[in-house]
């Protein structure tokens, strides 16, 4: 679980190992302070090893909370291994990495900090830089950012063939990202890979915008499929497909966008499920933004976050 760089002879230690006796061998962190985004997932803290090793070197790392908003072990981050061993080697310089997994809490909060310290060194001398302060930078600057991640879209397909109505449940993975630029804080971007939709003769991957709104004073928000915005392209035919709010009773496109309302959770995050079942959604075949017909209607649509 530990990543190494420029290091030959990294291995586990056993109780009967022969430790390095070269007094000139030192170990210390390469940096005294590190900043990483809390959604970085896995990151490394490089430890510099100086001096030839005629035997093994072993050390342990410990962690401690620090600062006004301390990071808590196994809540905000995880240390994959706290004991590191290096086998003897005739290289005069090497590096080993302490591997840490950051946990994205999907909540708006202050940056969190903790300290990683080298201790219980055997077979080497501990250098001056024995500790590194790690700052986990909060990436959730708004609810807009927190919506980014992996989701699952579910519901029911309904389509007609030879005047007979058919239905089929669906469940498909969907990712949401928060783009930068002019549409930042107004429009999210969704992607569904290889979706086999009844009534559409080819399996497609859909990319499409989701309209984001939030009223801070009322603490109310909404996410909407944007009607007639192109969802994907069929290059062979020059056609596009878009999500359209649908009136199943009249068989016509309805006014407005298919929308789900939401409110922040008690821990100042976004809900893990959004419900669009107040209206049906049709997949409309379009050319230059003009609707021609529809492949099928999506009913009882919900999106639910896929938690890690």
Write the pLDDT tens digit of every residue in 135-180: 998 765 678 888 989 999 999 999 888 889 899 999 999 999 987 6
Contacts of 6 (CB under 8 A, 6+ apart): 93, 94, 95
Counting beta carbons within 10 angstroms of the beta carbon of residue 287, is it exposed (0 to 12), middle (13 to 18) or buried (19 or more)? exposed
Residue 134's nearest CA partner among 8, 226, 45, 246 is 45
User: d(Cα 181, Cα 187) in Å, to the nearest integer?
Assistant: 10
User: d(Cα 281, Cα 219) in Å, to the nearest integer?
Assistant: 26
User: d(Cα 97, Cα 148) in Å, to the nearest integer?
Assistant: 30
Write the pLDDT tens digit of every residue in 208-254: 889 999 888 788 999 999 877 666 655 455 567 778 888 878 878 78
Among left, alpha and beta (phi > 0; psi -120 to 50; other), residue 228 is left
Helix (H, G, I), strand (E, B) or coil at 145: helix
Write the pLDDT tens digit of every residue in 94-148: 889 999 999 887 776 788 999 999 999 999 999 999 999 999 987 656 788 889 8
Maximal C-alpha separation, the chain: 87
What is the residue whose two structure tokens read 């930068």?
180
How confident is the prediction for the chain on average, in pLDDT? 84
pLDDT > 70? residue 13:
no
Higher pLDDT, 294 or 171: 171
75 phi/psi in degrees, rounded to 5: -120, -55
> Is the pTM higher than 0.75?
no
User: d(Cα 74, Cα 91) in Å, to the nearest integer?
Assistant: 35
Q: State how far the alpha carbon of 262 is from the alpha carbons of 113, 256, 276, in Å.
A: 31, 17, 11
């Amino acid at each position: 679980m530990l990543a190494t760089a420029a290091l030959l002879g990294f291995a586990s230690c056993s109780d009967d190992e022969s430790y390095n006796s070269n007094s000139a061998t030192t170990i210390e962190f390469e940096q005294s302070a590190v900043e990483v985004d809390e959604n970085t997932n896995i990151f490394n803290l490089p430890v510099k090893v100086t001096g030839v090793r005629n035997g093994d070197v072993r050390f342990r790392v410990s962690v401690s909370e620090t600062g006004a908003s301390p990071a808590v072990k196994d809540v905000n981050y995880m240390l994959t291994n706290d004991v590191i061993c290096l086998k003897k080697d005739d290289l005069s310089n090497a590096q080993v990495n302490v591997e840490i997994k950051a946990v994205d809490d999907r909540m708006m909060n202050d940056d969190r900090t903790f300290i990683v310290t080298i201790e219980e060194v055997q077979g080497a001398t501990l250098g001056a830089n024995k500790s590194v302060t790690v700052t986990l930078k909060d990436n959730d600057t708004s609810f807009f950012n927190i919506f980014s991640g992996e989701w699952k879209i579910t519901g029911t397909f309904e389509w007609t063939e030879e005047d007979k109505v058919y239905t089929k449940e669906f469940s498909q993975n969907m990712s949401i990202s928060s783009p930068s630029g002019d549409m930042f804080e107004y429009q999210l971007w969704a992607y569904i890979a290889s979706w086999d939709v009844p009534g559409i003769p080819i399996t497609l991957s859909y990319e499409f915008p989701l309209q984001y709104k939030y009223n801070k004073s009322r603490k109310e928000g909404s996410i909407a499929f944007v009607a007639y915005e192109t969802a994907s392209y069929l290059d062979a035919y020059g056609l596009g497909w878009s999500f359209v709010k649908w009136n199943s009773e009249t068989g016509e496109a309805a006014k407005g966008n298919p929308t789900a309302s939401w409110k922040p959770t008690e821990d100042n995050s976004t809900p893990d499920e959004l419900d669009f079942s107040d209206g049906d959604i049709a997949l409309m075949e379009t050319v230059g933004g003009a609707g021609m017909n529809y492949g099928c209607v999506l009913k009882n649509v919900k999106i639910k976050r896929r938690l890690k």
